[in-house]
Amino acid sequence: MPSQRAVPVTLAEIARIAGVGRAAVSNWRRRHDTFPARIGGTDTSPQFSLAEVERWLRENGKLGDVGGRELLWPGFEALGSRDETGLAVAEAGRRMRGERVRVPDPRLSERARELVGEAVALGRAEGTRETFEFLLRRWLDAHVRQVSASPRPLADLMAEVARTVRPPAAGAPLTVLDPACGAGHLLAAAAHAATAAGAEPVTLLGCDRDPALAALAGARLAFAADGDGDADGDGDGADSGSGTVSADVREGDSLRADPHPSAAADVVLCNPPYNERDWGYEELSTDPRWVHGLPPRTESELAWVQHALSRLRPGGAAVLLLPPAVASRRAGRRIRGALLRTGLLRAVIALPPGCAQPHSVSLHLWLLRAPGGARPAADPGVLLADASGSRQQAGREGVDWEALGGFVRSAVGAFEHRERELPDGARRMAVIDLLDEEVDLTPGRYVSPAEDEADLGLAETWQEFAEAVAGLRTTGKSLAALEPAGAGGAGHPTTTVGELVRAGALTLRGGRQPPDGTVRAGAPSGEDGGTDDGVPLLTVADLVRGGGPTGRLRRADAVEPEVVLAEAGDVVVAGVIRTFTAWVHQGPPVALGPQLYVLRVDPEKVDAWFLAGCLRAPANGRQAGTHASSTSRVDVRRLRVLQLPPAEQLRHSEVFRQLAAFEEHRARLAELGSRLVRDLSDGLATGRLAAKR
């Protein structure tokens, strides 16, 4: 086992080590006097000694069948430095593969070198590849906000598109380059696609200026080259590859000082850095790569485009993931025009938001092909495709990767094979039609977004619209029967939430920011492109946006009291004036962020629907707010509630339910009405709908 010294661990990490939920760990801490004492942190986020925790778990038979990897990782995390931790994980991967390291990396401390040795020993016992992939995954999760990784479904899609534009010949060599490879997601996908197509041998060339990412990518791709990656750690070779796949990843800045200066690639895949000003504009002003013009200082992405083209063999293909502004910014119009006139730019495809960081932006795929090879007799034009309609609703917004992949494959395949018909949402444009004053290549300017279905789905939308109208009419009729209470009701006594808490009629808890490193993005962002099936995290920002939770916690991390959860039947209050509201939570548990409050009632004293209905009254929020600004908070304890006996509460509760249903039907009607106006307008304007005579 690792020499754990004074490595600190949190309750969440103890839960992972023991293979239980964090509630169980909190319970152990309360029930057992022998549980290790806190060595740091705070009362709500305590830290404990890893060595003491492991000893206690073993003595009490609670360690279970969890492997040593969970005990190993806290030591890496305790190194503190992001770069040193990444370099240590990469060094462990190299040694686990069997590379003999004669001179230890001088960037690693003595403690880091000890951890590397412990990781190698553990890898021999539990599997080298599995141990390295575990450490890599934990490192990526810990630094998800600092490391922009291409989700696996997107990486696979980019590799498949490149294979369509430049099909590899079975048994022929193939070289794939990523000049800003990060942790190697795109190159790993390219290796899989190339070997599946029968290419042999396959050479992977990567580069990244971040030393930790370059080292991790090299170790990761070396395992991919090994196939099973089952090295015993005693080999002599320092070779990066084995069999039909080899990898060469180097540290460096591809634009300023390319470590692969003479590379000639069949395929270039790249997700370059965005919006960089300091990319080398001054020192690279006379660089021979700028065949199509010196990229403006604000157009670093077009520098990456031309760099990719400069590394392609004749007939080679490049696929780059770029922000949408690259297709339309005025500063880059001359270079875009040159790419069109030379026939190098083959396609621009708009992806739905959520495909990669930044998740709120509809990123673009640019497909380019170098001159040479089999050239068409006639100009094929440029493919513009808008895939922003390829989405799904499953409790939260996400990307329907199957629908997106099907649309992109269909559009690119039909375009490359010169088929007359392209799928809806895609259009073949003549170059001359794009060479105007702006040279705007935004697909949405020329095509309507591809829908998930072949037709507009108007029949289903009209049916939902009719149901919403019927629901609105029914609930409205009931609410219209309400009558003024008269003079006797004007002075009905009220109480406050604070008084109800003191009387034991309900409990009040305020949401809080979860511990650092525990929040996961709602969209796929893990190394494997999957999502963490945990507990949604609702924040005030989500309410302002008008949608559901966009964050998620692992179930092991979403445990009270560290995280405040709203259960079914609880009343949730948004304590900010501009989003002030209250509702009865229904469905699975949800974690609450700051300025959100959960009220759990004693059903013998207070009805939840009655309470929520009283609290959400706009006048109530105004009375309890500070009124200092639109972001001012509401003092939830000052919110007022009618004092009514239980039977009378139930009668009010039924009306409040109808009022909530009325609001739901009204909102649904507005949404469906907007959708109908949009689809009918698009259908009529594009000829997909015809007016009857």
pLDDT in the model for residue 178: 96
For 334-372, what is each residue's pLDDT tens digit? 999 999 999 999 999 999 988 888 877 899 999 999 988
| Residue 454 confidence class, pLDDT cut points 50, 70, 90 | very low
For 144-160, what is each residue's pLDDT tens digit? 777 778 889 999 999 99
Reported as type and span, the H/E element at residue 276 is: none
Measured N-to-C along each axis, helices 646-686 and 458-480 cross at an angle, to the nearest 10 degrees, of 150
> Is pLDDT of 392 > 70?
no
- Rounded Cα gap, residues 9 and 6, in angstroms: 9
Contacts of 668 (CB under 8 A, 6+ apart): 464, 468
> Is pLDDT of 83 > 80?
yes
> Is pLDDT of 59 > 80?
yes
Of the two residues 643 and 516, the one the predictor is more confident about is 643
pLDDT in the model for residue 255: 95
pTM of the model: 0.69
Structural contact between residues 387 and 408, judged by C-beta atoms closer than 8 angstroms: yes
Residue 84, SS3 per DSSP: helix
pLDDT in the model for residue 532: 45
- Annotate 235-253 with three-state secondary structure: CCCCCCCECCEEEEEEECC
- Rounded Cα gap, residues 54 and 60, in angstroms: 10
- Nearest CA among 622, 542, 612, 625 for reference residue 572: 612
Highest mean pLDDT among 67-71, 74-78, 390-394, 409-413: 409-413
What would the mean pLDDT of 303-310 be, rounded to a whole number?
96
> Is pLDDT of 171 > 90?
no
User: What is the token pair recorded at 175?
Assistant: 């070289």
| Residue 629 confidence class, pLDDT cut points 50, 70, 90 | very low
- The DSSP result for 530-578, as a single string, is ----SEEEE-HHHHHHTSS--EEE-TTT--TTTS-EEPTT-EEEE-BGG
Tokens 């170790």 sit at which residue?
219
pLDDT in the model for residue 635: 87
Q: What is the chain's alpha carbon radius of gyration, rounded to the nearest angstrom?
A: 30
| Residue 375 confidence class, pLDDT cut points 50, 70, 90 | low
For 398-431, what is each residue's pLDDT tens digit? 688 888 999 999 999 999 888 888 888 899 999 9
- The DSSP result for 607-643, as a single string, is -HHHHHHHHT-HHHHHHHB--SSTT-BB-GGG-EEE-
| Residue 491 confidence class, pLDDT cut points 50, 70, 90 | low
pLDDT in the model for residue 523: 35
Contacts of 275 (CB under 8 A, 6+ apart): 300, 323
pLDDT in the model for residue 533: 60
pLDDT in the model for residue 30: 85
What would the mean pLDDT of 462-486 be, rounded to a whole number?
86
| Residue 379 confidence class, pLDDT cut points 50, 70, 90 | low
pLDDT in the model for residue 63: 77
- Rounded Cα gap, residues 115 and 471, in angstroms: 63
What would the mean pLDDT of 592-608 be, rounded to a whole number?
90
> Is pLDDT of 20 > 60?
yes
What residues are paired with 552 via a beta bridge? 520, 536
Look over the chain and give the mean of its residue pLDDT values, rounded to a whole number.
Answer: 83
- Rounded Cα gap, residues 594 and 631, in angstroms: 13
pLDDT in the model for residue 376: 55
Q: Is the dihedral of CA 443, 449, 450, 456 positive or negative?
A: negative
What residues are paired with 242 via a beta bridge? 245
pLDDT in the model for residue 530: 39
How far is the CA of 51 from the CAs of 34, 58, 666, in angstroms? 14, 11, 58
Of the two residues 516 and 216, the one the predictor is more confident about is 216
> Is pLDDT of 201 > 70?
yes
> Is pLDDT of 141 > 90?
no
> Is pLDDT of 436 > 70?
yes
pLDDT in the model for residue 660: 86
pLDDT in the model for residue 547: 67
> Is pLDDT of 529 > 50?
no
Judged by average pLDDT, the poorest of 243-247, 296-300, 319-323 is 243-247
> Is pLDDT of 451 > 60?
no
> Is pLDDT of 521 > 80?
no
Percent of the chain with pLDDT over 70: 85
246: left (phi over 0), alpha (psi -120 to 50) or beta: beta
For 205-251, what is each residue's pLDDT tens digit? 999 999 999 999 999 998 877 764 333 333 333 334 445 888 999 99
> Is pLDDT of 116 > 80?
yes
What would the mean pLDDT of 96-112 be, rounded to a whole number?
78
Of the two residues 231 and 465, the one the predictor is more confident about is 465
| Residue 252 confidence class, pLDDT cut points 50, 70, 90 | very high
Structural contact between residues 231 and 96, judged by C-beta atoms closer than 8 angstroms: yes
pLDDT in the model for residue 146: 75
pLDDT in the model for residue 344: 94
pLDDT in the model for residue 587: 82
For 544-593, what is each residue's pLDDT tens digit? 766 678 778 877 677 666 788 888 889 999 888 878 888 999 888 888 98
